[in-house]
Amino acid sequence: MRLKLLANISRSLLLARWKQTLVAAIGVTFSITMFITLLSFMSGLNDLLDGLIINRTPHIRLYNEILPAQKQAVDLVPSFHHYYNFVRSVKPKNDLLQIRNSEAIVNSLAKDSRVLGVAPKVTVPVFYNIGNIDLTGIINGIDVEAEARLFLFKDYVTEGNYIDLKNIPNSIILGKSAAEKMLANIGDMIQVTTAKGNPIQLKVVGYFQSGLQEIDKVQSYCSINTAQKMLGESNTYITDIQVKLKNILQAPQLSNEYAHLYDTEAVDIQTANSQFETGSKVRSLISYAVGITLLVVAGFGIYNILNMMIYEKMDSIAILKATGFSGLDVQRIFIGIALFIGIFGGLLGLLFGFGLSAFIDQIPFNTAALPTIKTYPINYNPSYYIIGTVFSILTTYLAGYFPARKASKVDPVVIIRGK
Amino acid sequence: MGKTILETQNISKYFHDPLTIQVLKEVSFSIKQGEFISVIGKSGCGKSTLLYILSTMDTDYQGKLWIDGELMMQKKEVDLARIRNKKIGFVFQFHYLLNEFTVLQNVMLPGLKLSEHAAKEVEHRAYEKLKILGIENEALKLPNQLSGGQKQRVAIARALINDPLIIMGDEPTGNLDKKNGDIVFQIFKELASSFNQTLLIVTHDNEFAERTDRIIEMEDGKIIKH
Ligand SMILES: Nc1ncnc2c1ncn2[C@@H]1O[C@H](COP(=O)(O)OP(=O)(O)O)[C@@H](O)[C@H]1O
Ligand SMILES: [Mg+2]
């Protein structure tokens, strides 16, 4: 009842000055609109750029490093256990890249309830032979279907049909930039040489474009069987096991667990791509900074109009106090005005922010580097709207607080004497 | 005569700007229920200052003030506001109506603030007060659509809304012409006789004062006759 009375008084004072009030509210609307749009757009961009990596990257990758064995044969002989054994000139063994017992590991991972999918891979370092010139490259022998399902392989094959990789023997999908260097068209045969020197003829069935040129210059894809054949290895030879989890946040923890369990190296996506997270953070920070700056400016607008109103309404404040309204009541009346401006302006801002985001979402955005993107990216995360609401209420409250406090301290005797 | 509703004991007040001067000097007197009192004295003798202290709006004084048997000293701002709201009705030289509200709403505001009655009841009471003052037909107008005399009557209705213990006026007819001043005086007289309303009215109009029950005369910060 009493708050309702104060709110009514706020509303009447505000409506009597509705033009100035509207200007102040538009200030809030503008800043919240920009805040929402900026955050949605920036975060859309973040998602897009992260997606470049996250879509393409396993959450956990199991592999073996070429390292000399931790334990040399002599260490395993019981009678030498209590000795310091010095072995000089230790060399890594060639087959160490291979993950041993890979079939069992893949099967056990596929059964793990935390795992969304598993894709084995064979990486083959090669030279692309172009006449007399050799370009270094990497051919990934992949399980085409798993790769398409888990890592959106299909989206990044910009020309040709990705499934040909599986159906046509000795076929290859070339990185776009590599293909340009080799002047290789779809249907052409190219020659590559493995590190061991075996030359192999492969048929180009498509181009692959990740959007990251450094990758497209080097990487190409063939089926896992072709890769094993190139290396002259059996069909159990696997160099990488790529795991996609149901919850990406579990990656660091599970990567430790798997490394231990399967006795391989394991790297999680967060560790492998920490630089991307930093970029995202900086972009969000900039959006917040701009949004908050705008809100502070809007806050000053509210501060001004309230100061002006209080100056104009000295008589009213004096009589309210003379007839029994306390200082706190008067303070609430003016904070009520500020909050009304904030909430009204803020809500409009949310609406316009949504509208503007939706508009940007429609603007075509075609770039060769990002084949799957057709319009500017927008992230409609509801939390931005909640943050926007909280910020607008908070700033208007603060902007209203100080003038309202001044109003609450007005001495009616001074005003009434002044008449 | 009824019981004592307001009493002062040795109230003194100083102003320190620009020089320290004593504006009220040990003022002691009391008011009984139902009295119609006028306060007179030369301009600058401290009448308004005294009234603001009695109204609890000015708390910077020495001495003691009881309203309705309660000592006002050391009371909190909120409590004083509540006492003003419930027990004191005010009429100033200027009407101080809020231009954003209708006449009726202006009268209702202190009643809604008190919130002893529901809004509907407060509205009903406001109409009654306006009727007593003969301006019920102006209830839905805005204050700036009224004449000066009418505005002052609205201000009186506002002072009456919570049936205060005492109505205080600081030269309430000071801004009015003779005719309107007489109307306002007649209203006060009527309130005193018909409703046994206690009134304490500061005036510089001796003719006005002569027609009240009791005159308090001040000179140079002191009461010289009461
Ligand atoms: N705020 C103030 N600061 C200093 N002196 C004041 C102030 N207000 C009033 N006075 C002085 O106090 C005296 C009494 O003033 P007031 O009570 O208004 O007189 P009255 O109402 O009887 O004409 C006057 O001399 C006036 O100049
Ligand atoms: Mg005076």
pLDDT, one tens digit per residue, over A340-398 is: 989 999 999 999 999 999 999 999 987 766 667 788 989 999 999 998 899 889 988 99
> Do A328 and A250 belong to one domain?
no
Residues contacting A198, CB < 8 A, separation 6+: A230, A232
pLDDT, residue A53, reads 74
> Do A112 and A228 belong to one domain?
yes
Q: Do residue B82 and residue A324 have CB atoms under 8 angstroms apart?
A: yes
Using the predicted structure, report yes or no on whether residue B205 has a pLDDT greater than 70: yes
Residue A414 CA, closest ligand 1 atom number: 1
On the question of a cis peptide bond just before residue A377, with omega within 30 degrees of 0, the verdict is: no
Q: Are A180 and A159 in contact (CB under 8 A)?
A: no
Count of CB atoms situated within 10 Å of the CB of A348: 17
Using the predicted structure, report yes or no on whether residue B55 has a pLDDT greater than 90: yes
DSSP state of A194: E
Residue at A88 is within a domain: no
pLDDT tens column, B126-149: 999 999 999 999 999 999 999 999
Two tokens, residue A402? 């100080």
Q: Is B15 in the pocket of ligand 1 (CB under 6 A)?
A: yes
DSSP state of B193: H
> Do A244 and A158 belong to one domain?
yes
> Do A114 and A262 belong to one domain?
yes
> Do A266 and A387 belong to one domain?
no
Among A14, A319, A417, the residue to mutate for chain B (most B Cβ within 10 A): A319
Using the predicted structure, report yes or no on whether residue A1 has a pLDDT greater than 60: no
End position of a domain, from candidates A226, A246, A271: A271
| CA A416 to ligand 2 center in whole angstroms | 10
Taking CA atoms only, the protein residue closest to ligand 1 atom 18 is B48
pLDDT, residue A371, reads 65
Two tokens, residue A68? 């000399």
Domain holding A223, by residue range, is 60-82+93-271
- Percent of chain A scoring above 90 in pLDDT: 33
Using the predicted structure, report yes or no on whether residue A184 has a pLDDT greater than 90: no
> Do A409 and A340 belong to one domain?
yes
Number of domains in chain A: 2
> Do A29 and A72 belong to one domain?
no
Using the predicted structure, report yes or no on whether residue B81 has a pLDDT greater than 70: yes
pLDDT, residue A73, reads 80
> Do A68 and A14 belong to one domain?
no
pLDDT band at residue A80 using 50, 70 and 90 as cut-offs: confident
Q: Which of left, alpha, beta for B103 (phi over 0: left; psi -120 to 50: alpha)?
A: alpha
Residues in chain A: 419
Q: Are A291 and A349 in contact (CB under 8 A)?
A: no
pLDDT, residue A368, reads 64
Give the residue from A330, A403, A418 showing the smallest Cα distance to A6.
Answer: A330
Q: Do residue A417 and residue B57 have CB atoms under 8 angstroms apart?
A: no
Q: Are B199 and B191 in contact (CB under 8 A)?
A: yes
DSSP codes joined into one string, B97-129 = --TTS-HHHHHHHHHHHHTSS-HHHHHHHHHHH
Residue at A131 is within a domain: yes
What are the domain boundaries of chain B?
4-225
pLDDT band at residue A204 using 50, 70 and 90 as cut-offs: very high
Give the residue from B167, B82, B158, B98 showing the smallest Cα distance to B125.
Answer: B158
Two tokens, residue A123? 């990486």
| CA B49 to ligand 1 center in whole angstroms | 6
Two tokens, residue B149? 């005399």
Q: How many CB pairs under 8 A join A and B?
A: 75
Q: Is B49 in the pocket of ligand 1 (CB under 6 A)?
A: yes
Residue at A87 is within a domain: no
- In chain B, which residue's Cα lies nearest the Cα of A323? B85
| CA B226 to ligand 2 center in whole angstroms | 19
The whole-number average pLDDT for the span A10-36 is: 89
Residues contacting B136, CB < 8 A, separation 6+: B127, B130
On chain A, the residues whose CB falls within 8 A of the CB of B90 are 322-323
> Do A237 and A344 belong to one domain?
no
The CA-based angle A191-A194-A195, given to 5 degrees, is 145
Residue B47 CA, closest ligand 1 atom number: 22
> Do A42 and A65 belong to one domain?
no
Fold of B4-225: Rossmann fold (3.40.50)
Residue at A246 is within a domain: yes
| Alpha-carbon distances, residue A211 vs A157, A158, A217, A372 (angstroms) | 11, 11, 11, 10
Distance from CA of B88 to the nearest CA of A (A): 8
Q: Are A255 and A273 in contact (CB under 8 A)?
A: no
- Percent of chain B scoring above 70 in pLDDT: 100
The whole-number average pLDDT for the span A171-188 is: 89
pLDDT band at residue A49 using 50, 70 and 90 as cut-offs: confident
pLDDT band at residue B41 using 50, 70 and 90 as cut-offs: very high
DSSP state of A148: H
Residues contacting A345, CB < 8 A, separation 6+: A24, A25, A26, A27, A28, A29, A32, A298, A392, A396
Show which residues on chain A lie within 8 Å of chain B, measured between beta carbons: 1-2, 5, 9, 12-13, 15-16, 315-316, 318-329, 411-413, 416-417, 419
> Do A45 and A177 belong to one domain?
no
Using the predicted structure, report yes or no on whether residue A94 has a pLDDT greater than 70: no
End position of a domain, from candidates A240, A255, A271: A271
Taking CA atoms only, the protein residue closest to ligand 1 atom 12 is B23
| CA B74 to ligand 1 center in whole angstroms | 24
Residue at A28 is within a domain: yes
**CB under 8 Å, gap of 24 or more: what pairs does A53-57 form?**
A53/A269, A53/A273, A53/A276, A54/A248, A54/A269, A54/A273, A55/A151, A55/A152, A55/A155, A56/A151, A56/A152, A56/A156, A56/A210, A57/A151, A57/A269, A57/A272, A57/A273
Q: Is B48 in the pocket of ligand 1 (CB under 6 A)?
A: yes
> What stretches of A227-362 adopt beta strand conformation (E)?
240-245, 265-268
Residue at A65 is within a domain: yes
Distance from CA of A400 to the nearest CA of B (A): 21
Out of B20, B40, B49, give the residue to mutate to test ligand 1, the one with the largest number of ligand atoms within 8 Å of its CB. B49
Residue B220, burial from CB neighbour count under 10 angstroms (0-12, 13-18, 19+): middle
> Alpha-carbon torsion A160, A163, A167, A169, what sign?
positive
Q: Is B45 in the pocket of ligand 1 (CB under 6 A)?
A: yes
Q: Do residue B57 and residue A322 have CB atoms under 8 angstroms apart?
A: yes
| CA B200 to ligand 2 center in whole angstroms | 14
End position of a domain, from candidates A251, A271, A291: A271
- Residues with a beta carbon under 5 angstroms from ion ligand 2: B 48
Across-strand partners of B168?
A: B90, B200
DSSP codes joined into one string, A272-306 = HTHHHHHHHHHHHHHHHHHHHHHHHHHHHHHHHHH
Distance from CA of B35 to the nearest CA of A (A): 22
Q: Which of A32-46, B2-16, B37-51 has the lowest mean pLDDT?
A: A32-46
Q: Rounded to an integer, what distance in angstroms lies between the CA atom of residue A245 and that of residue A268?
A: 11
DSSP codes joined into one string, A377-404 = -----HHHHHHHHHHHHHHHHHHHHHHH
> Do A267 and A245 belong to one domain?
yes
Q: Rounded to an integer, what distance in angstroms lies between the CA atom of residue A325 and that of residue A139?
A: 81
pLDDT band at residue A153 using 50, 70 and 90 as cut-offs: confident
Taking CA atoms only, the protein residue closest to ligand 1 atom 20 is B44
